[in-house]
Each structure stands twice: as C-alpha cells, then as structure tokens.
Amino acid sequence: MQERVAHILKHHQLRVTACRKQVITFFLTQRHAIGHAELEQELEDFDRVTIYRTLNTFLEKGIVHQVPDDVGGAKYALCSDDCDEHAHQDNHVHFKCVECHKLTCIEEVGIPTITLPEGFVAMKASLLIKGVCETCGITA
C-alpha cells in the first residue's frame, strides 16, 4: 500500500507529505467517492485547510476527479492512470446507491456521446445513475 501511494505521488511529480499520503491511502482503501466531511473525520490530525489544499492539488494533478452528487457538497474519487495535470480522462458513469448512499465510479461504462443542437458546444458531461449497488442488492 505505502509503495503504491509513493508511486502515485511520484508519478504526478508531487512531494510526499504526511497529509497527501494519508489522503491517498484513504482513497485506496475506500471503493466509493469521498466528500470533505468524511476526509476530515478520517484525517483528524490535519485541519480543514490542509485537507482542502491537498484535494485541490490532487484535482489539478489528475490524481482525483470530482464526482457529481445530487445532494451535499462535492465528492471525489481516484482517477485512472490516464489522467494527468493537463487533462482528466474520467469519462465514465457514476452510480449512487439509494440504500447505502455510496457513490461509485463505473469505470468500464463510458458516457455516451450526446448530440446537441447547433450552436451548443459540450465541454464536459457527467452522468449519475441511481439504483441499488451490488452489495445492497444481495442482502435485500
């Protein structure tokens, strides 16, 4: 795990700091998207500003991407290796479970191309699907 964390930081030319290390470790251990509040709770050694800055750096460098949510603030999830500081490649669908409320990246499903009326230029698209996740579906 520590090796993977160090590799991610090095790959994006970032210095290793305690906060950065812990944020990435938390992302790696969670399979769902994480919001500010959850991160602050998990990383109690660091103040909000440090966590906020770390997330912003990760967003800029292509380590995490923003995940759309229908309620509450922004959520974040780890990017695939294709993202860098120039561009994010997170053109995948996100899924929100109505039972456990977890937001998950569905990396194997891309967002379909949508044809817009003339004069409209698309720059970014996000698709949030709501339903029951595989974990909740089994127990229900």
Residue ranges in contact with Zn ion by CB under 5 A: 62, 65, 77, 79, 83, 88, 90, 97, 99-100, 105, 133, 136
Shortest distance, position 134 Cβ to Zn ion, whole Å: 8
* Token couple for 24: 């990435």
C-beta of 20 vs 65, nearer to Zn ion = 65
Q: Quick check: helix, strand or coil at residue 104?
A: strand
C-beta of 46 vs 63, nearer to Zn ion = 63
Shortest distance, position 135 Cβ to Zn ion, whole Å: 5
Shortest distance, position 87 Cβ to Zn ion, whole Å: 8
Task: Name residues whose C-beta falls within 8 Å of residue 66's C-beta, 6 or more positions apart in sequence.
Answer: 59, 74, 75, 76
Task: Name residues whose C-beta falls within 8 Å of residue 131's C-beta, 6 or more positions apart in sequence.
Answer: 95, 96, 97, 98
C-beta of 39 vs 83, nearer to Zn ion = 83
DSSP character at residue 51? H
